[in-house]
Amino acid sequence: MDPGTVATMRKPRCSLPDVLGVAGLVRRRRRYALSGSVWKKQTLTWRVRSFPQSSQLSQETVRVLMSYALMAWGMESGLTFHEVDSPQGQEPDILIDFARAFHQDSYPFDGLGGTLAHAFFPGEHPISGDTHFDDEETWTFGSKASRQPKQELAGGSPVDEELGFSRGWHVNPLGPGSSEHLS
């Protein structure tokens, strides 16, 4: 393997496996793969339930970045996303959490580096659509210089990819939709 391929393979990433199959053999590639599950409604609610503890980002900044990522997915999908503030009442369709290690979903995080995030496809299960980010990562926005690995919460980042999973799309990490902003 060439050095570029090895470097790409060593980048931190989400915990879902690559899905290449027959679609990877054709010349024209989609930037996503359909999961087979879809939302049964066009308007979805979301809420950030827990915020990054290891980050200097304010809760407001995290909420705004998530909102912009969902707005981008909405433009591509025709879905509408509305943030709900109150933890009281009906649970939102998509809960966003920053969590560490074992966090009650059978997909533990592995600490700094490695797995960055994971999300669950649409469906009727209570965890469907939920999106989890590894809180042992140092999450940033607009930061360039660093001695410590940081994960960018912005366009082309794990946020875009994981919120796509929760929408029912899988971004091909080796194709045009791959995240190149990870460090």
Alpha helices in 57-145 (DSSP H): 59-77
Residues 160 and 177: their CA atoms lie apart, in Å, by 10
User: What are the beta bridge partners of residue 96?
Assistant: 48, 131
Which position has the higher pLDDT, 12 or 139?
139
137 annotated among ligand-binding-site residues:
yes
Does residue 93 belong to any structural domain of this protein? Answer: yes
Residues with Cβ within 8 Å of residue 162, at least 6 apart in sequence:
14, 117, 118, 119, 131, 132, 133
Does residue 179 belong to any structural domain of this protein? Answer: no
Does residue 131 belong to any structural domain of this protein? Answer: yes
Q: Is the pLDDT of residue 29 over 50?
A: no
105 annotated among ligand-binding-site residues:
yes
18 annotated among ligand-binding-site residues:
no
Does residue 22 belong to any structural domain of this protein? Answer: yes
Which position has the higher pLDDT, 52 or 182?
52
pLDDT, one tens digit per residue, over 86-143 is 767 788 999 999 998 878 888 888 878 888 888 888 888 888 899 999 998 888 887 6
Does residue 182 belong to any structural domain of this protein? Answer: no
Does residue 180 belong to any structural domain of this protein? Answer: no
135 annotated among ligand-binding-site residues:
yes
Q: Is the pLDDT of residue 18 over 80?
A: no
124 annotated among ligand-binding-site residues:
no
CATH classification of the domain holding 145: 3.40.390.10
Q: Where in the sequence is the domain holding 102, given as residue range(s)?
A: 3-171
Q: pLDDT value at position 52?
A: 92
Residues 93 and 51: their CA atoms lie apart, in Å, by 18
Q: Is the pLDDT of residue 45 over 70?
A: yes
Overall domain count for the chain: 1
Residue 145: how many other CB atoms lie within 10 Å: 5
134 annotated among ligand-binding-site residues:
yes
Distance (Å) of CA 11 to CA 5, 61, 179 = 10, 25, 10
Query: Does the global pTM surpass 0.75?
Result: no
pLDDT, one tens digit per residue, over 73-84 is 899 889 999 999
pLDDT, one tens digit per residue, over 142-165 is 765 454 445 555 555 555 555 554
Q: For residue 159, what is the enclosing H or E element?
A: helix 158-167
Does residue 181 belong to any structural domain of this protein? Answer: no
Does residue 149 belong to any structural domain of this protein? Answer: yes
Structure-block tokens of residue 7? 């470097």
